Structure 1
Amino acid sequence: MIGYTGRVTGKVGAGLVGEVMVQVPERQGSEAFLAYLALPGDPLPVGTPIVVVEYQPPRTVYIAPAIG
């Protein structure tokens, strides 16, 4: 899961549990995960491209904005 990319589908920010859709190549599609910011900072609005920094089973990820 670490390094996979996706998009924010529910605002993620400090004190907020958001939602992201992450592209999972092994399953040939995208899946929804609960998301937290990996580093404190500005909230990420819906549609922001992200990268997974940490994964905690079963469906929680820590994310950062994708660069580029």
Structure 2
Amino acid sequence: MVGLTGRVTGRVGAGLVGEVLIQVPERQGAEAFLAHLAVPGEPLAPGTRVVVLEYQPPRTVYVAPAYG
């Protein structure tokens, strides 16, 4: 999971548990995960591209904005 990219579907921010949709190649599709900010900062609005920095099974990820 670490290093995969996805899109925010439910706002992610400080004190908020958001949601991201991540393409999981091994499972041949996209899956929704509960998401937290990996690094404190501005909230991430729906549609923001993110990268997974930490994964806590079964469905929680810590994300940061993906640049580039």
Output the TM-score relative to the length of structure 1.
0.99
> Partner residue of 1:49?
49
Q: Which runs of 4+ in 1 moved over 6 A?
A: none
1:30 partner letter? A
1:10 partner letter? G
Output the TM-score relative to the length of structure 2.
0.99
Matches within 5 A, 1:10-29: 10-29=10-29
Per-residue Cα deviation, 1:6-58 (whole angstroms, up to 9, x for no partner): 00000000000000001100011100000000000000000000000000001
Identity %: 76
Question: What secondary structure sits across from 2:58 in the alignment?
Answer: coil
Query: C-alpha distance in 2, partners of 1:40/1:6?
Result: 19
